[in-house]
Amino acid sequence: MKPRHKNVPEQALLAAVAAGHDPNNCTVVSDVLARIGDKWTVLVVMLLQNGPRRFNELKRMIGGISQRMLTLTLRGLERDGLVTRTVYPTVPPRVDYALTDLGRSLGEPVRHLGAWANANAATIMEARRIFDTDIQHLDG
Amino acid sequence: MKPRHKNVPEQALLAAVAAGHDPNNCTVVSDVLARIGDKWTVLVVMLLQNGPRRFNELKRMIGGISQRMLTLTLRGLERDGLVTRTVYPTVPPRVDYALTDLGRSLGEPVRHLGAWANANAATIMEARRIFDTDIQHLDG
DNA sequence: CGGGATCCGGACGGATACTG
DNA sequence: CAGTATCCGTCCGGATCCCG
């Protein structure tokens, strides 16, 4: 799972420094977003906060995800050390996915973002509606 | 700027409830991520934290963005009420982009995410390197 | 059950040319 | 300077088939 954001130019980083603030808070975050910003990752991470889950269990819980994307999502999380994959050589096979400490720690900032989202969702939707209605930006 | 994530199925929301935690912290956050998770939005928001900027000023600061994507990004932010667009009818024309209170407030959770990213970037990179090196997941 | 392999449409995003 | 319009490649992500 290659990051969707191929690379954020280093000039942006330098510019951020010149602008007078820590580049860590704008460039590195882009990298994280490239990781968790895809369609399903956050959903999976949040669902796993409650404990290990099996593949099809996750698939059912999410409901609209294809097995392909769930596989890719879990592989990516495993690759980054956020999730562990445990295979039980039984018949039929059983595979458990669980968060690592690192993966669990991601829940915290994500919840912060969730709080912001909840607090401002209505406002954003309203702003969006207004913007789409009176299109004064077509020149007023 | 239509959201990249068309829709996260409602079943996921219900599943999240069944799993025993507030769906707000997993589904709504997906919506926010669909908004700020694109390639440039966070970068722009963080750069604007220092005050208003002009179009080409932002373009130069970011460095690798096309005028097309900067326009789309700023339109999206304006639409959601995170950024204001001020046109000065001078010659040559001048347009200032500035964060709204809402846009400024987004900086906080983003910084949280940035902090997490900074704290764990090295760990993630290392995990990634190991995962890519010994490919024990091809059966070991 | 838990995937891998493949096909494919559509969205994302860059490059370029043109405008007021 | 600050865009708009257009073309076009890439890659995301769904559907389907197959395998151990």
Tens of pLDDT, residues B42-85: 899 999 999 999 999 999 998 889 999 999 999 999 999 999 99
Answer yes or no: is pLDDT of B121 > 70: yes
pTM of the full structure: 0.84
> How far apart, in Å, do the first and last CA atoms of chain B sit?
45
Answer yes or no: is pLDDT of A104 > 60: yes
Token pair for B70? 């900067």
Residues 28-47 of A with CB under 7 A from strand C: none
CA dihedral B61, B73, B37, A39 (to 10 degrees): -150
Residue type, B45: V
The residues close to strand D, meaning Cβ under 7 A, are A 2-4, 38-39, 64-69, 92-93; B 4-5, 54-57, 67-68, 71, 74-75, 85, 92-95, 97
Tell me the HSE value of B28 on the side-chain side, using a 13 A CA sphere: 19
Distance CA B106, CA B109 (A): 6
Length A58 CA → C10 C1' (Å) = 26
Length A61 CA → C8 C1' (Å) = 27
Answer yes or no: is pLDDT of B9 > 70: no
Span A39-94, pLDDT tens digits? 899 889 999 999 999 999 999 988 889 999 999 999 999 999 999 999 999 999 99
Distance CA A40, CA A42 (A): 6
Answer whether A64 touches B (CB < 8 Å).
yes
Query: Quick check: B54 and B96 in contact, CB under 8 A?
Result: yes
- The mean pLDDT of B89-112, rounded to a whole number, is 95
